[in-house]
Amino acid sequence: MDHYRSIREARRRFLIHPYDRVEALHDLRVGVRATRSILREMRRVLGRHKIQSQLQWWATFARMTSEVRDLDVILATFQGLDEEPVIKVAGGTRWFVEALQIKADSTRHSLEGELRSRPMKHFLRHWGRFLRDNSSLKSKLRWAQKDIRMVAGTLILKSHQRFIEAARAIKEDTAPEGLHDLRKKAKKLRYLMAGFGHYFSSKKISRLIRGLKGFQDYLGKYQDCQVLQQRLATLSTDPDQTMPVEAQEALRAMNVWILQKEHILRGQFQEQFTALVHATPQHRYRAIFKQ
């Protein structure tokens, strides 16, 4: 219900307050991702058949917001790139910003229509009724008969184990998709802890979430480089975009800068992961969540 209220409020802010759209969209996506993460883990409690259609709708909801959010992040990144001397000398990012701004305005307009649509309103009303109707939660599955602290603790510990195993599997030659998948696992773990945190020590939970968020932010910087590189490649090969000479020079400079930053970030992985494990070791998770 907390995430449901957050999603509805973020949707309202996005549609009504143009100056708040970037933050509203971020809050909207966090609420949707958190809901999906918790709902996926609760299939054994509520029953897979009861929530499968809900999960499909939440996946659609997430997809319809991703393009706008990616463009917002890329445009913000370009503002920072203009401060890099090598890129400024090469001509700066003006041509790319102008091209992306047109795309961003178009996708934002489409998202507004989808968020105002009748199917979206119907889904949110249906989801609200689902959460308020206690009869829909009276599952006879074995997991539904257990204490919520035991269920939540088990789900969190399993999610943490999956995250740790995935992180330890990262090698120097692991493809970028491996780090992206690891970041998603970190998000799932964080959302579970935040969603069920009030059943445990809030002070201890906050410490775990804070450490995880720092590692997640590090992985996010690497992922932003990947997204920016892909978007630049798309712009440079778009037959509808005629790239001037100065923009071609800036493109080469940006690609070199991105590759260098990726290399630096990739080289920091083991240090970042070791720091996370040292700050929040596995036995601390077990001490909090083992029931």
Q: Kindly list the domain boundaries of the chain, sorted by start residue.
A: 1-72+80-141, 146-291
pLDDT of residue 44: 82
Neighbours of 288 (CB within 10 A): 18
CB 114 within 8 A of CB 64: yes
271 pLDDT above the threshold of 90: yes
CATH superfamily of 146-291: CHAD domain (1.40.20.10)
* Nearest Cα residue to 114 out of 64, 175, 166: 64
Torsion (CA) 277, 283, 284, 286 in degrees, nearest 10? 130
pTM: 0.88
pLDDT of residue 210: 92
Sort residue 92 into left (φ over 0), alpha (ψ -120 to 50) or beta.
left
CB 3 within 8 A of CB 34: yes
Check if 1-72+80-141 and 146-291 are the same fold: yes
What's the rounded Cα separation, in Å, for the pair 136 and 62?
A: 24
CA 125 to chain centroid: 24
pLDDT of residue 218: 96
CB 73 within 8 A of CB 228: no
Handedness of CA 63, 132, 209, 43 (dihedral sign): negative
Average pLDDT over residues 120-130: 91
pLDDT of residue 142: 84
> CA neighbours within 13 Å on the CB side: how many for 24?
18
pLDDT of residue 141: 82
Give 146-179 as a DSSP string: S-HHHHHHHHHHHHHHHHHHHHHT--TT--HHHH
Q: Go through 190-227 and write b for each residue having 16 or more CB atoms within 10 A of its CB, e for each that does not.
A: bbbbbbbbebbeeebbeebbebbeebbebbbebbbbeb
pLDDT digits (tens, 9 = 90+) for 194-238: 989 889 988 889 999 999 999 999 999 999 999 889 888 888 887
What's the rounded Cα separation, in Å, for the pair 160 and 84?
A: 38
User: Of the ranges 53-62, 109-118, 232-241, which one carries the lowest mean pLDDT score?
Assistant: 232-241
What's the chain's average pLDDT? 89
Amino acid at 53: S
User: Of the ranges 7-11, 49-53, 128-132, 275-279, which one carries the lowest mean pLDDT score?
Assistant: 49-53
CATH superfamily of 1-72+80-141: CHAD domain (1.40.20.10)
Average pLDDT over residues 75-86: 82
> CA neighbours within 13 Å on the CB side: how many for 279?
18
pLDDT digits (tens, 9 = 90+) for 25-58: 999 999 999 999 999 888 888 877 878 888 888 9
CB 269 within 8 A of CB 140: no
Average pLDDT over residues 245-260: 87
3-class DSSP string for 49-117: HHHHHHHHHHHHHHHHHHHHHHHHHHHHHHHHHCCCHHHHHHCCCHHHHHHHHHHHHHHHHHHHHHHHC
291 pLDDT above the threshold of 70: no
What's the rounded Cα separation, in Å, for the pair 93 and 288?
A: 48
pLDDT of residue 8: 95
pLDDT of residue 253: 87
